[in-house]
A = this chain, B = another copy of it.
Amino acid sequence: MEFAGSAMNDLCISPEHGRRGRLGRRKIIYDDTKEFKSKNLHAERRRRQKLSDRLLALRSMVPIITNMNKATIIEDAITYIQEQQESVKLLSDQLIEMDESLDETVKTVSDHEIDPAEEMKQCGIMEDIQVTYVDETKLWIKIILEKKRGRFTRLIEAIAYLGLELTDINVTSYKGAILVSSCVEGTYGDTLTVQQTKELLVEIIRSI
């Protein structure tokens, strides 16, 4: 059983053994007039060259190459792929987060904006309090309450007393109900929580 190469084929390639430097820098001069033991020699040559070319292409794709070694090229490619996977994950997470928050605000906004008359008719004279997050210091509140004399003024006073500044406010009275939609912010830039503010408003309205 013969094995791996033979001295017979010494002259088939250039004296320098076809090698000039490292990966991708060799100059091969084949002498195809000679005969070989294996018939798949040409195929093997093509195969080797193809693999070398792919490796070269891979090297050109990866920005950070620590070494020109075949193994190192693949290693760097692996770490690069990992970095890219993390980048993709991070970016898409951020994007999803942004999308969700945007959807949330749009949804709450459109919820608030749909057809005041319709909503009031549906709710009739049902009192309602909704608090929507705008940013850390700003909240948007919508209040529907039964119209009573001086009740709106007392509501404004109470809100101011709680340290909330009304930046924009819109008040409508209709069919015995008052609809207040307003933007409030903490007097000294305090962080406001939706739940806490809503509870405070419920307490206020119950007392007036």
**Which residues on A are within 8 Å of B, measured CB to CB?**
1-7, 9-10, 17, 47, 50-51, 54-55, 57-58, 61-62, 70-71, 74-75, 77-78, 80-82, 84-85, 87-88, 91-92, 94-95, 98, 149-150, 152-153, 156-157, 159-160, 165-173, 187
CB neighbours (8 Å) of A159 from chain B are 153
Contact of A173 with B168 in the complex, beta carbons under 8 Å: yes
CB neighbours (8 Å) of A170 from chain B are 169-171
CB neighbours (8 Å) of A47 from chain B are 71
Complex Cα–Cα for A80 and B57 (A): 13
Within 8 Å by CB of A157, from B87, B153, B165, lies: B153
Contact of B9 with A6 in the complex, beta carbons under 8 Å: no
Within 8 Å by CB of A5, from B5, B51, B87, lies: B5
CB neighbours (8 Å) of A95 from chain B are 91, 94-95, 98
- Shortest distance between the CB of A112 and any CB in chain B (Å): 9
- If the complex has contacts A9-B3, A91-B92, A92-B91, are A61 and B82 also in contact, measured as CB distance less than 8 A? yes
* Minimal Cβ-Cβ distance residue in B for A99: B98
**For A4, A82, A169, which residue has the most chain B Cβ atoms within 10 angstroms?**
A169
